[in-house]
Structure 1
Amino acid sequence: MPPLPVLPEHDTEFLADPEVATQLENLDIKVLGGRPIGIINNRFIDLMNAIAGPGAVLINGRPTDIRRENLSRLSYALGTDGEIVHLPIEATPCHLAIPVQAPRCAVPCADKAVRINLKSRYGYLPLGYTAHLPNISLDSIDNASTLLTLSHWPSNHTPQRYKANLSTQSVFSYLKESGDVEGAQVVTSDHFDLDGLASIYAFLSPASAMKHQQLLIDVARLGDFSRGASSHALKTAFTLNSLAAQVKLPKNIDADTALLHMFNAVLPNVEQVLEHTDRYAQCYLEGMNHLERSERLLSHPDMMLVEYPDIDLAVFHLPAAIRSDQLNDQQPYLGLSNIAFHNRTRCGVLAIVHGTVLEVRQRYESWVERISGIPRARRDLSIFAQALQQDEREGGVWRYGGVENIMPSLKYEGPGSTRYSAETLLMELRQFLKVAPAAWSGSPQPA
């Protein structure tokens, strides 16, 4: 079968079965974290698991070969010595659940890019609008027209001398020693978050950004890794996220046009937020109060944190003294602030236990490329979820967000509680993390 070319700008070709290849035509496909990932509407699709089912692995180790003959599935059974078994995949028709792409609005030219003021050397356009426009890619993947990448995303093309744990740090390293990027008219990214916002702001308003360098780095760290204690940075981060949440987007627009609206609304406000943060109390008070409440609960004398460094796991045992009505198991982190958890441990996998409720979280640090503090490579918890599902009570479902997503969770959903005790769940989770192979590696792993 002829190969399916999907990334000619990087001379990458993917092998796929014919019925799969026809379904991939509208996807941008890249190898991220060692896995073939389809991208559409700024959403990631793990093609291995989409084709073969949960726990898919490559037989020949080549992520560019996604033919069925090169895929198998891993299975794990509870109550064993932790054996991982390879299973053949079913030879049934493959129908990928690919989202429908929203109709794209007219692509704006460079002079329509978002600028903060007339002094801005660059403007901002979403990545999808820059396929034929020389660009600087910030906190993002890149494309054939990218002249410079400054990003901590997996498989990034950031020059080695500028690599850092945060894209914002890479940007400041570049701006301190380099001038303009010849030929580039715009900076670009494919999503909105605080690390990306700080990176873009630094290029659009370098004088202001340099003045607030440490604050912007602290804000970026809070945005990506949910870590930090600076009151000014916390208020700034909560404010910028609040301003973004208030943006009213037109209906039925594509993801890139939505991004353009978002940055157009938020970027012009960044300098005022940095300079006069206390004027935005209506934006940050809710976040600050939520964090303070979470800190109080996690500081309960009976709360116990147990770390297992060899498997990069931290277990938070929330005491019975914290009432169920003080938590919300329908919300991430049982309704508490993720910052309160992340400031207490550097482990890449968090397990939060309260009574019979268990929530497992994989942190963003294990998704991106890091230069220091490199976490253990991610394991695919869909394999563990399948094992839990085997003997779960009727109507109960263990859901996992997917190893390809930036901060996936594993949680039980259904009527009542899971049939497993918290002790059993934690014992099995530890065993699984010990024996499961790496499934996603954003950073080169130490030997």
Structure 2
Amino acid sequence: MNQLCSSELVADADIAAQLSSLETRVLGGRAIGIVNNHFIDLPSAIGGSGTVLNNGDPSDIRRENLSRLRYTLGTSGELVRGPIEASLCRLAIPARTQADPVAGVEHAVGGIDPDSPFRYLPLGHTAQVPNISLDSIDNAATLLTLSHWPSNHTPQRYKANLSTQSAFRYLREGNPVGEARIVTSDHFDLDGLASIYAFLSPASALRHQDLLIDVARLGDFSRGTSPQALRAAFTLNSMAAQAKRPGVLDADTALLQTYRAVLPKVGHVLEHPGQYAHCYAEGMHHLARSERLLSHPETRLVEYKDVDLAVFHLPAALVSDHLDYQQPYFGLSNIAFHNRTRCGVVAIVHGAALEVRQRYESWVERISGIPRPRRDLSIFTRALQQDEREGCTWHYGGVENIMPAMKCANPGATRYSSAMLLMELRQFLAVAPVAWRGSRSGSASGAG
């Protein structure tokens, strides 16, 4: 097949022609296509789940450089490399939302602190605007990146486990970055919100620095116990969910509207989190209920640190009415689980039902703590499906996604016992190669 280069990737001609509608990056050691903040793992899209590179170069996604790994249950754990199906491929690219006219600098969110020169615009509106990218990828107009995303361009002296921590490290230095007066990001979450707020209202942010970092940690890693931070985190997420977005908006305009609705309220939430019970009560109740269930004397937590796996065995006597197998974490709060273990892979077992989660800590770059390279559970999922009963389908969210889950759509129909599933999972994690490396080799150190 003819070969063409698309941006920094080398691909066969039929694939390269399709990449023009995507933003393409190498993230976590994999070629990724991005559209509407949706990630597409390009090797898997071309070669099928479990695709690996023959020459180790993530920018080379030609079919001749792709193989597929296969794992078989009931063996001693061998992985077999085989060919991909080298047929013409049509990438499943989501349609781009119809873009509204790009908002100019005059539409940027600002004015929270009159002494701050910074304002906010979404990344998609900053292609020609000198900017500082926060908790995000960057673009050609970016003069400074402060992000923990994989393959980021954050200067070493500002790197941290959270983008908010990087923002505070920069602000403490107070060095101007050329003519950049716009901060930008490509999504809404609490780490991004706290980072942006630190630039738009630095005096308030510095007064509440520890609280903002706790909020960012709750948002990204679902870890933390401070009642004040929990209330603030639940409140800010609730405000974002309730933000009014008139009409059908493209992704960037919707993002701008969300930040426009939430950013001016951050300071008051930090000062008076107790005044927002109508926003945080449901989240606090959900967490308290989850804490009670996980504190049940018959709940067992077993950690297999050699494979970075924590297994929560929920009491068999716990009626399924208390759980929802179709929801993340069986309908319980992920904070309750994550506060109990630092392992990067979390398995939850209740009878025959199993959910496996790979945590956000294994997706981003971490500067301190245990490095948590991620394995591709799609290989294991295919092995489970090979001999599974009809009507029972195993799904995996994809190694490229921030917190993917592996679970059975109908757990009551599986032919496998939970003991057998866990034994095979441990064996697979021990032999599977690294498929996603958020942290550069040797970048994470110290206590988790």
TM-score range (shorter-chain normalised) is over 0.9
Out of 19, 27, 46, the residue aligned to residue 22 of structure 2 is 27
Out of 287, 291, 297, the residue aligned to residue 283 of structure 2 is 287
Which residue of structure 2 lines up, in the alignment, with residue 351 of structure 1? Answer: 347
Which residue of structure 1 lines up, in the alignment, with residue 446 of structure 2? Answer: none
Out of 430, 441, 447, the residue aligned to residue 445 of structure 1 is 441
Q: Confirm or deny: 8 A CA contact 2:163 2:192 kept in the other structure.
A: yes
Which residue of structure 2 lines up, in the alignment, with residue 301 of structure 1? Answer: 297
Greater mean deviation of Cα atoms: 244-253 or 371-380: 244-253
Structure 1 segment 144-159 matched on structure 2, within 5 A: 144-159=140-155
Cα deviations across residues 184-237 of structure 1 (Å, max 9, x unaligned)?
Answer: 020000100000000000000000000000000000000000000000000000
Which residue of structure 1 lines up, in the alignment, with residue 75 of structure 2? Answer: 80
Out of 366, 369, 391, the residue aligned to residue 370 of structure 1 is 366
Q: Confirm or deny: 8 A CA contact 1:194 1:223 kept in the other structure.
A: yes
The question of 1:128 aligning with 2:124 is answered yes
Q: 2:247 and 2:402 mapped to 1: Cα distance?
A: 26
Q: Confirm or deny: 8 A CA contact 1:116 1:267 kept in the other structure.
A: no
Which residue of structure 1 lines up, in the alignment, with residue 329 of structure 2? Answer: 333
Q: 1:2 and 1:185 mapped to 2: Cα distance?
A: 41
Q: Offset at 1:179?
A: 3.1
Q: 1:91 and 1:42 mapped to 2: Cα distance?
A: 28
Out of 84, 92, 99, the residue aligned to residue 97 of structure 1 is 92
Name the aligned partner's letter for residue 29 of structure 1.
T
Q: 2:390 and 2:250 mapped to 1: Cα distance?
A: 39
Greater mean deviation of Cα atoms: 380-389 or 180-189: 180-189
Q: Confirm or deny: 8 A CA contact 1:136 1:184 kept in the other structure.
A: yes
Q: 1:113 and 1:236 mapped to 2: Cα distance?
A: 25
Q: Confirm or deny: 8 A CA contact 2:134 2:163 kept in the other structure.
A: yes
The question of 1:253 aligning with 2:231 is answered no
3-state SS of paired residue (1:16): strand
Q: 1:415 and 1:136 mapped to 2: Cα distance?
A: 46
Q: Confirm or deny: 8 A CA contact 1:376 1:445 kept in the other structure.
A: no
Q: Confirm or deny: 8 A CA contact 2:381 2:406 kept in the other structure.
A: yes
Q: Confirm or deny: 8 A CA contact 2:6 2:19 kept in the other structure.
A: no
Q: 1:371 and 1:163 mapped to 2: Cα distance?
A: 7
Out of 47, 50, 54, the residue aligned to residue 59 of structure 1 is 54
Q: 1:4 and 1:431 mapped to 2: Cα distance?
A: 39
3-state SS of paired residue (1:192): coil
Q: Confirm or deny: 8 A CA contact 2:6 2:16 kept in the other structure.
A: no
Where in structure 2 are there 5+ consecutive unaligned residues?
444-448
The question of 1:41 aligning with 2:36 is answered yes
Which residue of structure 2 lines up, in the alignment, with residue 320 of structure 1? Answer: 316
Cα deviations across residues 142-178 of structure 1 (Å, max 9, x unaligned)?
Answer: 1111000000000000000110000000110110112
Distance change >3 Å, CA 446–CA 181, structure 1 → 2:
closer
Name the aligned partner's letter for residue 291 of structure 2.
E
The question of 1:244 aligning with 2:240 is answered yes
Q: Offset at 1:263?
A: 0.4
3-state SS of paired residue (2:213): helix
Q: 2:66 and 2:86 mapped to 1: Cα distance?
A: 11
Q: Percent identity of the aligned residues?
A: 69
Q: 2:183 and 2:32 mapped to 1: Cα distance?
A: 24
Which residue of structure 2 lines up, in the alignment, with residue 171 of structure 1? Answer: 167
Q: Offset at 1:370?
A: 0.2
Q: 1:445 and 1:421 mapped to 2: Cα distance?
A: 37
Name the aligned partner's letter for residue 203 of structure 1.
F
Q: Offset at 1:250?
A: 3.3
Q: Offset at 1:87?
A: 1.2
Q: Offset at 1:120?
A: 3.3
Which residue of structure 2 lines up, in the alignment, with residue 4 of structure 1? Answer: 5
Superposition TM-score, scaled by structure 1 size: 0.97
Out of 16, 22, 27, the residue aligned to residue 11 of structure 2 is 16
3-state SS of paired residue (1:148): strand
Q: Confirm or deny: 8 A CA contact 1:356 1:422 kept in the other structure.
A: yes
Greater mean deviation of Cα atoms: 90-99 or 191-200: 90-99
Q: Confirm or deny: 8 A CA contact 2:286 2:333 kept in the other structure.
A: yes
Q: 1:54 and 1:160 mapped to 2: Cα distance?
A: 35
Which residue of structure 2 lines up, in the alignment, with residue 9 of structure 1? Answer: none
Q: Confirm or deny: 8 A CA contact 2:6 2:20 kept in the other structure.
A: no
Out of 115, 131, 134, the residue aligned to residue 110 of structure 2 is 115
Q: Offset at 1:446?
A: 4.2
Distance change >3 Å, CA 362–CA 295, structure 1 → 2:
same
Q: Offset at 1:3?
A: 3.3
Q: 2:319 and 2:111 mapped to 1: Cα distance?
A: 48
Q: Confirm or deny: 8 A CA contact 2:353 2:412 kept in the other structure.
A: no
Q: Offset at 1:2?
A: 5.3
3-state SS of paired residue (1:15): strand
Q: Offset at 1:251?
A: 4.0
Q: 1:5 and 1:251 mapped to 2: Cα distance?
A: 35
Q: Offset at 1:110?
A: 1.2
3-state SS of paired residue (2:60): coil
Name the aligned partner's letter for residue 429 of structure 1.
L
3-state SS of paired residue (2:11): coil
Structure 1 segment 223-238 matched on structure 2, within 5 A: 223-238=219-234
Cα deviations across residues 12-63 of structure 1 (Å, max 9, x unaligned)?
Answer: x211111111111110100000000000011100000000000010011111
3-state SS of paired residue (2:39): strand
3-state SS of paired residue (2:394): strand
Query: What is the RMSD of the two structures over their aligned residues, measured on CA atoms?
Result: 1.2
Q: 2:434 and 2:378 mapped to 1: Cα distance?
A: 13
Cα deviations across residues 113-149 of structure 1 (Å, max 9, x unaligned)?
Answer: 0114344311100111111110000000111110000
Where in structure 1 are there 5+ consecutive unaligned residues?
7-12
Q: 1:375 and 1:313 mapped to 2: Cα distance?
A: 14
